[in-house]
């Protein structure tokens, strides 16, 4: 894994939270994006080399809705940038970690992503992400 790419924060209302975090960071989000597959609206703030991703559920079935129901708003996942997501998924699977998706899927911010089950990572939801490069 190369670095912490971003930290994901589950919020109830992304418009309110964008205002709050804009005040907190003294900067605007650089991107707002909906991810259909995950049923979320997201926004991203650039913090040096790392980003903060806010996530609001767009559907009661969304993993974010379930997370907030169980644990309330707060830090939802930590995302690590990887060079080769397939190789890293294979490596982690061999090490005994549980992958939540068996093939990389399209995430927010032009990334291929894979999540690890928090039961295999001390309760922390880990996201692997690799930038999609247009070739």
Q: Which residues bind Zn ion (CB under 5 A)?
A: 8, 53, 79, 127
Smallest separation (angstroms) from Zn ion to the CB of 15? 19
User: Which is nearer to Zn ion, 74 or 135 (by Cβ)?
Assistant: 74
- Least distance in angstroms from the C-beta of 19 to Zn ion: 21
Q: Mapping DSSP to helix (H, G, I), strand (E, B) and coil, where does residue 60 land?
A: coil
Question: Closest approach of Cβ 111 to Zn ion, in Å?
Answer: 8
Residue 89, token pair as written in the block: 């998924």
Shortest reach from residue 31's CB to Zn ion, in Å: 12
Residue closer to Zn ion by CB (options 48, 96) is 48
* φ, ψ of residue 59 in degrees (nearest 5): -155, 145
C-beta of 67 vs 94, nearer to Zn ion: 67
Q: Where are the beta strands (DSSP E) in the chain?
A: 3-10, 31-35, 40-47, 50-57, 74-81, 105-107, 111-116, 126-131
Nearer to Zn ion, 35 or 60 (CB): 35
Tokens 């907190």 locate to: 24
């Amino acid at each position: 894994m190369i670095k912490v790419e971003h930290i994901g924060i589950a919020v109830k209302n992304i418009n309110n939270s964008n205002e709050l975090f804009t005040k907190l960071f003294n900067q605007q989000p650089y991107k707002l994006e909906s991810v259909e597959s995950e049923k979320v609206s997201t926004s991203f703030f650039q913090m040096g080399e790392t980003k903060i991703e806010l996530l609001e559920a767009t559907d009661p079935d969304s993993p974010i809705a379930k997370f907030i129901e169980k644990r309330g708003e707060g830090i939802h996942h930590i995302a690590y940038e990887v060079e080769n997501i397939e190789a890293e998924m294979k490596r982690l699977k061999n090490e005994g970690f549980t992958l939540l998706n068996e093939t990389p899927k399209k995430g927010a911010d032009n990334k291929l992503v894979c999540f690890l089950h928090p039961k295999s990572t001390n309760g922390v939801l880990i996201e692997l992400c690799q930038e999609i490069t247009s070739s």
